[in-house]
A = this chain, B = another copy of it.
């Protein structure tokens, strides 16, 4: 089969690799029909995170089950399925608690299950990892494209909103206008927030934020942005979604949080070196909740809304490519030409 392979920073290629096969009785093999490129894929693309040369890549799979191992019960060949960016057994202490990202099996796409940016992928622990799309929607292209973000960014934005404690009538500030931040706006709106202040630096993305429910946008930078957000919220918001993971975004989140408020953070804190945010939080009893999003826990409720037509995160896909276009997709995301790239296979 053909699959995207990492050959070094800035170098992603489509190569011929062996077809995946059932290795364990709990495996499934999925023929990929839709997948995506993630902001976190840019870490290795930019050389900010080590990845072995030759690694298969991609962690947002959607497709059709092609084969299953003897012990797989929940899916069968022909089912349309999607899976979160983390593999989960569905049976351990943490999966039972809904904390699927802490699954005791500790497996990852790419390293353990193959990459989702390819024609096929092996899905370990298929019963825990794969989620079936109801047959009625299995070939509804609009529904499938709206469901695809549930594999990662929509669940992650939702985790930020839930972790920040957003509820009906609340005022929320969303820090970051990437795909996760935009999904955070959508999630906050879905959870009933009355005012949503979206903070970012790109007019086109803030336009999407407004279409997703942001009532105000702040496009200034640094101290000016903080001042503007604090003014809009009369001194800070009780609910802040940190959707970047950079040092400046953590500091902004802490600064725009109201005393006693909560930051829901879902941006992997790769670039946070100063602990300034901690002192700010400490002095005003601001809580920090969240972490790597256990999106599997949210797929059922989010899918229900997508299928009933009240949730559609697909506008975050501002560019669509075929498998051959994956290298171009990385380039476009790296250069911020695209918010998020969808990959559609035949």
Binding site for B on A (CB under 8 A): 94, 97, 99, 101-102, 163, 259-260, 265, 268-269, 272-275, 278-279, 281-292, 294
Contacts and interface: CB of A to CB of B under 8 A. Distances in A.
Nearest to A266: B282
Given A94-B259, A94-B260, A260-B94, A99 B272 contact: no
A275 B273 CA distance: 6
A269 B286 CA distance: 14
5 contacts: A269-B275, A274-B275, A282-B291, A287-B290, A288-B289
Given A269-B282, A286-B291, 19 more contacts: A97-B260, A99-B259, A99-B260, A101-B285, A102-B285, A163-B287, A268-B282, A269-B275, A273-B275, A281-B288, A282-B291, A282-B292, A283-B292, A285-B290, A285-B292, A285-B294, A287-B288, A288-B288, A288-B289
A282 B260 contact: no
A259 B292 contact: no
Please give the count of copies of this chain that the complex contains: 2
A260, A283, A285, A286 — most chain B CB neighbours (10 Å): A285
A289 B163 CA distance: 12
Contacts of A274: 275
Given A97-B260, A99-B260, A260-B97, A278 B285 contact: no
Given A260-B94, A260-B97, A278 B269 contact: yes
A290 to B, nearest CB: 7
Lowest 6 A-B CB distances belong to which pairs? A285-B291, A102-B259, A288-B288, A287-B289, A282-B291, A99-B260
A273 B291 CA distance: 20
Contact of A275 (B275, B281, B284, B286): B275
A283 B291 contact: yes
A163 B289 CA distance: 12
A272 B269 contact: no
B287 A287 contact: yes
A58 B54 CA distance: 63
